[in-house]
Chains A and B, each alone.
Chain A
Amino acid sequence: AQSVTQPDIHITVSEGASLELRCNYSYGATPYLFWYVQSPGQGLQLLLKYFSGDTLVQGIKGFEAEFKRSQSSFNLRKPSVHWSDAAEYFCAVGVYNAGNMLTFGGGTRLMVKP
């Protein structure tokens, strides 16, 4: 069965600093990978996704992520964090041809210092 690990439960960065959120997955084949963001009291919003092709994917709000098969990782990055980026971030893996239900990591809560 697939699994997703987000090693960092909480991360605090200063506004304007760069950000990297870690995600490691376990899956026997090439996974479908997603990053979602959840603001307080809100549902999940898709930031970006990787299915195949270019391993560096661009998303909304200036986020990008890089798929590294050798490291089973799909880390999320942003060069300059804004206060509005404070939220919880979830990495997920989807299983194609099995309904595509998502397996989520435990989430990383991002706090942004002014």
Chain B
Amino acid sequence: GAGVSQSPSNKVTEKGKDVELRCDPISGHTALYWYRQSLGQGLEFLIYFQGNSAPDKSGLPSDRFSAERTGGSVSTLTIQRTQQEDSAVYLCASKPGYTDTQYFGPGTRLTVL
């Protein structure tokens, strides 16, 4: 079946611009995660959605970062006023409710010039 998909695969933007990154989880998966992979920080958790519950935003690095999940499916990660340190690969993962295994998408490589 289809895995987790993310778009765009690559995004180049100028410092100060806003960007939106999209994640389509595996159908039926109730949990959705965003992670960031950067040279300096490695792989780090950003935000977690579970069903209709309020998201766990404890990993967001600043208030420039936000995310939403519409209809319990597609999620969008928004970064406002991008900075060069936001350059990274943003990974999305989803998980069904009955297991603890997360399935990762291919990521979006964000480059802020």
Contacts and interface: CB of A to CB of B under 8 A. Distances in A.
* Chain B interface size, under 10 / 10 to 19 / 20 to 34 / 35 or more: 20 to 34
Contacts of B91: 43-44
A9 B43 CA distance: 14
11 contacts: A34-B101, A43-B105, A46-B102, A46-B103, A51-B100, A96-B100, A99-B48, A99-B50, A100-B95, A103-B45, A104-B43
Interface string B32-55: 010100000011110010100000
A46 B42 CA distance: 18
Contacts of A45: 104
Contacts, number: 52
Interface of A: 32, 34, 36, 41-46, 49, 51, 90, 92, 94, 96, 99-107
Nearest to B58: A101
A107 B32 CA distance: 23
Contacts of A36: 104
B100 A46 contact: no
